[in-house]
Every structure is written in structure tokens, then in C-alpha cells.
Amino acid sequence: METLLGLSTIDCARKVVSQHPDIRAVNFRRYIYVPQKPSWNDEVITRVTRDCFLSGFDPCDLIGRDDNKSNIALDSTLEITAGRQAFLLMMDLQPTKSAENQALIMDRYRSQVLPWFGGGFLIETGSSYQLLGMNITDREGWYRFMGRCLLMSTPLEVDGIKKFIEVPDTRYCGFSLARGTTGLRITTRDKKTFEPRSIAVIE
């Protein structure tokens, strides 16, 4: 278990890909982050073979030498046997970092997502968290996964006051559903300087 903690997002993804021999290739997206704005008009998709990805591929190689703005995201789309498409399970989360919120996220994932899609990595970002599942799914399963993640949000009563706690980032969900894929940032460039790391495995 300890060997699964402290991993970068790309190394978490390598663990997942290595457990699924039917995965033939992964996809990366080069994008420029603009707050509250989708980036798909400027995205460049690059296919990377399984062997290249698992043997230490450096995503920074996809960024031009004079490009100071772009970051690279690992896209959820995968190529599997016979050229078919599958998906990694990814989610960006809303709660700020705290022991209480980490426990809430893990509890909600176990009740709303894990029975259908299995366990996953909880990854710490600069201000919040992300999820990367251990399993893969098809297009229909990807939509169900998005729905199950949205159900992680929950009403809670605190000091007699009912509050609705948003667990997944709903704007991330909206942009992802509009695009048809999810993604997680794996480079640290421009304003994105915190390197996300796994802090728990939810089982």
C-alpha cells in the first residue's frame, strides 16, 4: 500500500495501465488554462503507445521550447484491443484540503461510486483533490461514472443548519460532458506549479 502513496498523477496512471493488458495507447491533451473557460478550441491531442507510456514517457516533450503557457493533461480516452475505445475514470473535486473533507470524500466515494466502479487513487492538488480509478470502462460506463460521482454531493446538517456539500466540481463535470472526455493535469507549468500526488487509495 505504501508504494501507492506519494505517486504523481502520471505514475498513478501507469499503475492503472499496467494492470490492464488490453490497453494499447493513451492520449494526452496540450492546453492553456484560463479560469472558468473551456480549453477545447486550443487543445492538441497526442496518442502515446502503451510501451512508450510505461517506459517513462515525459509529457513535457509534447510542449514546444518557446511555449511558456501550455500544460499537459492525461485524457481519459484509451485505445484498447482491436482499436476500440475505453476510458480511464477521472474526477476533479471541489472541497478544499482538510482532514475532515478527505474523510468525507472517501466516505462518499465508497458509498456512491466504488460498488459499481471499484477503488481508486485520491490525489492531492494545490487546493483540493482529484480521483483516478483503478479500473477502465466503455463510453456508456463513463457516463454512468460521471453520474455516480455527481451523487457524491450530499446534504449535511451542521449545527442545526442544512448545507449542501458539493463534492465533485460541477463545472469540471459540465465541461467534461460537453467535450465527451475527462482529463487530469500532469505537468507543472505557468500558474500551475503544484505537482499533484496520491495521498490515499480508496478501497
Q: What domains appear along the chain, each with residue ranges and CATH number? A: 2-202 (3.90.920)
State the pTM of this model.
Answer: 0.92
Each residue of 74-129: pLDDT tens digit?
999 999 999 999 999 999 999 999 999 999 999 999 999 999 999 999 999 999 99
Position of cell 456539500?
165
- Residue 140: pLDDT over 70: yes
SS (H, E, C) 4-43: HCCCEHHHHHHHHHHCCCCEEEEEEEEEECCCCCCCHHHC
CB-based burial, 87-116: b 16+ in 10 Å, e otherwise: bbbbbbbbbeeeeebbebbbebbeebbbee
- Residue 192: pLDDT over 70: no
